[in-house]
Amino acid sequence: MKTVVRINPALCIRCRGEYNLCGLSYCPILAELRTKYTLRQVKGKSEVDGSSPPSIFVGRIGYPRVNVYPATPPMHGDTRRLEDPRTWLSMELEDFLSSRLSLVRGSVKAKVYDAKDPPRLLHEIQIMALSEGPVDSELRFEKPVSGRYVIDEHSPPFGPSSPLKELRLATLPPPPRIIDKVYSDSDLNASDAMWTLYSSGIDVHQISKLLSVGVLGVIRRRRLVPTRWSITAVDKQVSDKLLDHVRDYPLINEYRVYVRKIRDNTFIGILAPHTWLYEWAEAWWPGSTWNLWGGDVVIELDYEGYWGRDDYPSIGGCYYAARIAALEALSSIRRQAAVILWREIYPGFNLPIGVWWVRENVRAMFKGPYEKFNNIQDALNYVSRFLKIPISTWISRSYVIRRLMKQQGITNWLGR
Partner 1 sequence: MSEVKVTYPDAKEFSEIINAISALIEEASFTLASDGLKLRALDPSRTAMVDLLIPREAFEEFPESLSEEVRIGVNFDDFKKLLRRIKKGDKIGMEVSEGKLRVRLIGKASRTMTLPLIDIGAEELPTPKVVYTVLAKVSSDSLNEALKDADVIADAVKFDAKDDGLYISASSDKGDVEVKFEKEGEVMFEYDLKEPATAKYSLDYLVDTVSKAYRISDIVTVEFATQKPIALTFEIPMGGKLTYYIAPMIE
| Residue numbers at the binding site for partner 1 (CB under 8 A) | 247, 274-275, 303, 305-307, 399, 402-403, 405-415
Least separation, in Å, of the C-beta of 342 and partner 1? 17
**Residue 10 CB, nearest distance to partner 1 (Å)?**
11
Residues 6+ apart with CB under 8 A from 362: 260, 267, 269, 321, 322, 325, 326, 341
Output the smallest distance, CB 250 to partner 1, in A: 11
Q: How far is the CB of 161 from partner 1 (least distance, A)?
A: 41
**Residue 306, helix vs strand vs coil:** coil
Nearer to partner 1, 276 or 349 (CB): 276
Rg (CA), the chain: 22
Compute the distance between CA of residue 101 and CA of residue 295 in angstroms, rounded to an integer: 32
For every residue of 30-57, DSSP letters joined together read HHHHHHH---TTTTT-SEEEEEESSEEE
Contact status, residue 169 vs residue 130, Cβ threshold 8 Å: no
How many Cβ atoms sit within 10 Å of the Cβ of residue 248?
A: 8
- CB closer to partner 1 out of 48 and 400: 400
Give the 3-state secondary structure of residue 72: strand
State the nearest-atom distance from the C-beta of 192 to partner 1, in Å: 16
Residue closer to partner 1, measured from CB, 34 or 247: 247
DSSP element (H, E) containing 140? strand 135-141
CB of 99 to partner 1, least distance (A): 42
Q: How many CA atoms lie within 13 A of 192 on its CB side?
A: 10
Please provide the distance, in angstroms rounded to a whole number, between the alpha carbons at the two ends of the chain: 68
**Distance in Å, CB of 386 to partner 1, minimum:** 24
Coil vs helix vs strand at 21:
coil
The residue among 25 and 412 lying less far from partner 1, judged by its C-beta, is 412
* 149: DSSP letter: -
CB of 412 to partner 1, least distance (A): 7
Which lies closer to partner 1 via its Cβ, residue 171 or residue 412? 412
Note the Cα 12 to chain centre separation in Å.
18
Q: Which residues pair with 303 in a beta bridge?
A: 279
**Distance between CA atoms of residues 273 and 404, nearest Å:** 9
How far apart are the C-alpha atoms of 273 and 34, rounded to whole Å?
Answer: 45
Nearer CB in complex with partner 1: 75/405: 405
Q: Which is nearer to partner 1, 92 or 248 (CB)?
A: 248
User: Could you give phi then psi for residue 183, rounded to 5 degrees?
Assistant: -65, -40
Nearest residue (CB) to partner 1, 41 versus 396: 396
Is 369 exposed, middle or buried, given 0-12, 13-18 or 19+ CB atoms closer than 10 A?
exposed
Nearer to partner 1, 251 or 364 (CB): 251
Closer to partner 1 by Cβ: residue 114 or 302: 302
Least distance in Å: CB of 258 to partner 1?
Answer: 23
CB 411 to partner 1: min, Å: 5
CB 51 within 8 A of CB 81: no
